[in-house]
Amino acid sequence: MTINEALQYAKQTLDNIESKILIKYILKKDNTYIISNGKNKLSDDEESILNKYVNKLKNGYPLQYITNNQEFMGLNFYVDENVLIPQPDTEVLVESAIKYITEITVNKKISINNIKLLDLCTGSGAIAISLKKYIPQIKVYASDISEKALEISKINANNNNVEINFIKSDMFKNINEKFDIIVSNPPYIKTSEISKLSKDVQNEPVLALDGGEDGLKFYRLISEQINDYLKSDGILMMEIGFDQANQVKSIFKNAKIIKDYAKNDRVVIWNRSQKV
């Protein structure tokens, strides 16, 4: 099988870009090599690996778990079955936090060096690490209930050369400080809906997907304790499902909703000065 034939074979389950990513990963070569050497043959071992991966992909196994990589906010993150795969929609949450931090440091003249931020349910660490990478002066903390997720987030922090304070915690249980900003992408899929999700999403950790019977379990938990961990003038930012804006706003009164690039409701922003 030639490289060109391998690309066509991979397209049984992947698009053009993803097919190139898979072949580059298997051959340990770059785009230029793949394009320029399409008639070169794969070795028997490489062809065997390709067959194995294509079969896994046919069964809904995510490509990112094969390559152990996902790009997010222009950075590369290691991912495997222990963490959710960071999605482009979540970049809206990071961008909203960056915008807010910029505004408060300019308009309120707060020293950026004194800003403390917590990423609750950090998973791969993509949100926390991106914020620290783009605003290195702030102090960033990141928590998760999963020890394996924290191990991965620590790898990602190291790979992206940022310093994060990681905390193993079931929500706020082991959090002992107050923060200027708390961000979170909590589990928000209804339990009954998980079995209806695409196969690739079903291969991601249920712990990071299951938001309880109505998908709002963790928003309620956060609302019940947020005042103990957010400073009096602090702000909370969370990702939400595209159809959850009104329900989450009923929990966080006077919250503001930010849409993603597909014009779907995606981020809720709530100020501590407002009543929960």
Residue-wise pLDDT for 29-38, tens only, equals 999 999 999 9
Please give the backbone phi and psi of residue 271, each rounded to the nearest 5 degrees, phi first: -95, 135
pTM of the model: 0.93
Q: Which pLDDT does position 275 carry in this prediction?
A: 58
CA 235/CA 46 separation, integer angstroms:
51
Q: Which pLDDT does position 179 carry in this prediction?
A: 97
Averaged pLDDT, 249-257: 93
pLDDT tens, position by position, 62-81? 999 999 999 999 999 999 99
Tokens of 14: 């992947």
Averaged pLDDT, 172-184: 96
**In this model, does residue 118 exceed pLDDT 70?**
yes
**In this model, does residue 28 exceed pLDDT 90?**
yes
- Using DSSP, state whether 188 is helix, strand or coil: coil
Question: pLDDT averaged over the chain?
Answer: 94
109 pLDDT tier (thresholds 50, 70, 90): low
Tokens of 196: 């209806």
Only one residue has tokens 């956060």, namely: 222
Q: Which pLDDT does position 273 carry in this prediction?
A: 75
Q: How many CB atoms lie within 10 A of CB 116?
A: 17
Share of the chain above pLDDT 70, in %: 99
Q: How many CB atoms lie within 10 A of CB 216?
A: 21
CB 127, CB 90: distance < 8 Å = yes
**In this model, does residue 107 exceed pLDDT 90?**
no
pLDDT tens, position by position, 7-26? 999 998 999 999 999 999 99
**In this model, does residue 110 exceed pLDDT 80?**
no
Only one residue has tokens 């046919």, namely: 58
Written as one letter, the residue type at 210 is: D
**In this model, does residue 104 exceed pLDDT 70?**
yes
Only one residue has tokens 């152990």, namely: 68
Written as one letter, the residue type at 106 is: V
Q: Which of 110, 113, 260 is nearest to 185 (CA)?
A: 260
Averaged pLDDT, 93-111: 89
Q: Which pLDDT does position 5 carry in this prediction?
A: 96
Q: Which pLDDT does position 276 carry in this prediction?
A: 55
Q: Which of 14, 12, 54, 49 is nearest to 28 (CA)?
A: 49
Averaged pLDDT, 101-123: 90
Alpha helices in 69-211 (DSSP H): 91-107, 126-134, 147-159, 199-202
* DSSP code of residue 181: E
Share of the chain above pLDDT 90, in %: 83
Tokens of 250: 């009923």
**In this model, does residue 230 exceed pLDDT 70?**
yes
Written as one letter, the residue type at 90 is: T
CA 208/CA 267 separation, integer angstroms:
17
Q: How many CB atoms lie within 10 A of CB 9?
A: 18
Averaged pLDDT, 177-194: 94
Q: Which pLDDT does position 199 carry in this prediction?
A: 85
